[in-house]
Amino acid sequence: MHTIALAAPHAGNLPGTERVPRPVGGAVALASVWSLLCHAFVASALIRETRRMRHHQHDHDSTDAPVDAQTPPDHRPGSVSRRDVLRGLAALGLSGPAALAALRSGDAAADHALLDRGEFEAGFARLLDAAPLAGLARHQTFEILPADLPWKPLEVELRAGQAATVLLSGRWWLVEDLDVWVEPGLAFFARVGERNPVYNPQKNTGTFTAAHGGRVAVARAIGEWADSRAETVATPAEVYTAAKGAIRGVLLVWDGDPLSGLEALRQRGDVGGLVAAEITRLRTEPPPPAGWQPMYVTGNAGIYSTCAPGQICCHSHKNACLLTRDVDLPLAAGARLDWRWAVEELPSARAEDALLAHDYLSIAVEFDDGQDLTYMWSVDLPVGHVFRCPIPSWQAIETHMVVRSGRQELGRWLAESRDVHADYHAHIGGPATRIVKVWLIALSFFQRGTGRARYADIVVSSDGAERHLS
């Protein structure tokens, strides 16, 4: 899962490098569709497909009746209606119930507290305002709405090293007509002092420690940050603010240990199970493996962890993480990536080269020309199949190669070895001269499935040098 950019980076004449046009005219009328597209990573492909079909239909229409202001917007040439969206989904490889299942971020379940504003604020007022709570320095409730573009400052300041907990409710609509939405933890971000790092819990509860002092600000983004600075989003302002949804939260600032404070708060009661959920997370969620860090666009949320000496475990469920490790080696002839993995469960139910089924587990190499090559295990694409990333903003820079396929070997430790130099020149063919990073990728957002795997003996070697990464 990666950052949406409405204009894809330049990459010469590589396939899939066409620029994605910004919407012109009628942007607000297309807002619900654009929300789906930008937020669920199906942006331009779906709009291009629905517009293509609409224009095709119009070009072959036997009547040339004029269009005026009385014509319903969904029937004007070039407009995109709900029917167009569904037809577009079918054209992209998903139709009927499968299409909505792949898009949907799900109905409210036990792990998601869907509370309206009154319930949320009244519930926490009862817990927090009755009497002072040992270890709690201060708190503030907040709400993130579509007009917040994108950072919303709170009244709370943290000092360096101080911990704060966020408890979240609400939902963010991607397409309200299709009942497609995401839980707040996927879309919520926080930062301190108007600078990085940014914090994304992935779950609806989380606790972070301030890297430096300053005022807390909150934001919502689903793969929309313009770059790693996370100052603003790539989505046009008129589209971003036309979205629908609300994220309600409470920020708890601690002078002491957050877990002890939450346990004391739990003795007073709970609101939608959020306090208990964060206690459980703090007690059980492992940190990322040493030397690895999540890309700025996602948190880790325990997705990757060190589960045994020399082993990195992955457990992804309806979320995403791109974990990175710096490597600086020449892309010389014979440069290799070796690893062992035991994949236990695949997150996709169908071929991952379809846009809305692009849930997968992989290990990837990033090069100094901005390209990356990711080696994946597919549910049914054939071994050796190579394709550009179906996420529009990444088509110009990411190449997928299937190295294992099917479910027959799930659960077995298997050794892999790839000639990265040969693969790069065969399938990318750019000007890269160095290997700069290795990535571990887990994506289970589109179909809300589960991916589980273990990795070991990850080694990058080139020109007589080796980097051992697990």
pLDDT, one tens digit per residue, over 235-261 is 889 989 998 999 999 999 999 999 999
Domain boundary among 253, 284, 315: 284
pLDDT at 294: 86
The answer on 330 and 255 residing in a single domain is no
Straight-line distance from the first to the last Cα atom of the chain, in angstroms, rounded to the nearest whole number: 22
CATH number at residue 125: 2.60.120.430
The answer on 301 and 272 residing in a single domain is no
Domain boundary among 261, 284, 307: 284
Res. 188: pLDDT tops 60: yes
What's the mean per-residue pLDDT of the chain? 80
The backbone region for 233, taken as left when phi is positive above 0, alpha when psi lies in -120 to 50, beta otherwise, is beta
pLDDT at 295: 82
Cβ count within 10 A of residue 334: 12
Cβ count within 10 A of residue 143: 15
pLDDT band at 12 (very low <50, low <70, confident <90, very high): very low
Res. 91: pLDDT tops 50: no
Judge whether 336 and 418 are in contact, CB under 8 Å: yes
pLDDT at 110: 41
The answer on 130 and 250 residing in a single domain is yes
Domain count, the chain: 2
Res. 313: pLDDT tops 60: yes
The answer on 409 and 267 residing in a single domain is no
Residues pairing with 402 in the sheet = 376
Res. 415: pLDDT tops 70: yes
Residue 124 lies in a domain: yes
Q: Span 91-108, mean pLDDT?
A: 39
Q: Span 316-334, mean pLDDT?
A: 93
Domain limits for position 377: 293-468
pLDDT at 387: 98
Q: Span 67-84, mean pLDDT?
A: 41
The answer on 333 and 246 residing in a single domain is no
Q: Span 291-313, mean pLDDT?
A: 89
Res. 49: pLDDT tops 50: no
The backbone region for 335, taken as left when phi is positive above 0, alpha when psi lies in -120 to 50, beta otherwise, is beta
pLDDT at 259: 97
The answer on 309 and 279 residing in a single domain is no
The answer on 326 and 352 residing in a single domain is yes
Confirm whether pTM is higher than 0.75. Answer: no
The answer on 346 and 259 residing in a single domain is no
Range with lowest mean pLDDT among 262-266, 319-323, 414-418, 422-426: 319-323
pLDDT at 113: 60
pLDDT at 229: 85
pLDDT band at 444 (very low <50, low <70, confident <90, very high): confident
**What per-residue string of b and e applies to 152-165 under the rule 16 or more CB within 10 Å gives b?**
beeebebeeebbbb
CA distances to 1, 81, 259, 270, 382 from 276, in Å? 29, 42, 10, 7, 44
pLDDT band at 445 (very low <50, low <70, confident <90, very high): confident
CATH number at residue 388: 2.60.120
pLDDT band at 112 (very low <50, low <70, confident <90, very high): low
The answer on 186 and 152 residing in a single domain is yes
Residue 395 lies in a domain: yes
Amino acid identity of residue 97, one-letter, is P
The answer on 318 and 229 residing in a single domain is no
pLDDT at 268: 95
If you ran DSSP here, which 8-state letter would residue 271 be given?
Answer: S
The answer on 300 and 270 residing in a single domain is no
pLDDT at 299: 77
Share of the chain above pLDDT 70, in %: 74
3-state secondary structure 41-66: CCHHHHHHHHHHHHHHHHHCCCCCCC
pLDDT at 179: 65
The answer on 354 and 236 residing in a single domain is no
Give pairs for 302-308: CB < 8 Å, separation 24+.
303/202, 303/442, 304/440, 304/442, 307/454
Both structure tokens of 132: 């002072």
Domain boundary among 237, 262, 284: 284
Q: Span 347-371, mean pLDDT?
A: 94
Give me the sign of the Cα torsion angle 258, 274, 440, 416. Answer: positive
